[in-house]
Structure 1
Amino acid sequence: MELTTHLGDQQQFVDGDEIQFLLSLGQDAYIYMYYIDAANNITQILPNENQQSNFYTAGYFLTIPEYENHYRFTISKPFGKESIWVLASDKSIFINQAPESIEDIRQRVKRSSETAYGEYV
């Protein structure tokens, strides 16, 4: 699994920039993607109401958000350290409650995976 942005890796973004994430997979996987803002609030990016299916096959190249979706990731205040976590599993995992932390999510996905698990921060 590899993740980058449409502008490449290790970029610094400024107010008003729009970001698209590009994800490629080396094997079939269920993908879970989370955004952690500067205040440590967690937002689930994938799956979501516009992209409910989160199973992708090896070699698939995923653009997040997809061009036809009605949302964008736009850099805005308040600024601070933010991160994107992508977790991949060989099993579908139903997460029906708000996570307390990214570590909580990470452990749920890892425990539920049978033979394959990966993460990218």
Structure 2
Amino acid sequence: MAPLCVAWWGMVGLSARRQQPPLVNFMLLVRLYGNLFQPSFKLQEEMRIGARVIKCYHPPVPPAARVLTHPGVAQTDKQQLQETADPVLLFAGIRAAQEELGRRVDRSGLNAKED
């Protein structure tokens, strides 16, 4: 999801990323949302019949839900994840970062006046 939001992210050098805190903030929020709430498939089993490989997957589940149901994760960590991982707050942060990026483009990009 994040590469679709900012397609040129991989082509920008590290020094340019340091100079663009709103872009970095936006990318961190989008990656956090994807890592917590975007459903993903998990491999259930893999069968080999000769050279052919047949893969069976579990139904797609968000990674945060997997963490919350895993028996190896401590209850305190589960409570902390439930308290801090709020998709509504993440979307609000993403929208704010998008607005900031839009303001920067308006100031220095499309509407910039030549000297």
- Bin the TM-score by the shorter chain: under 0.3
Report the structure, 1 or 2, having the larger helix content: 2
- Indicate the structure whose relative CO is greater, using CA pairs within 8 Å and at least 6 residues apart: 1
Q: TM-score by structure 2 length?
A: 0.25
Q: TM-score by structure 1 length?
A: 0.24
Report the structure, 1 or 2, having the larger strand content: 1
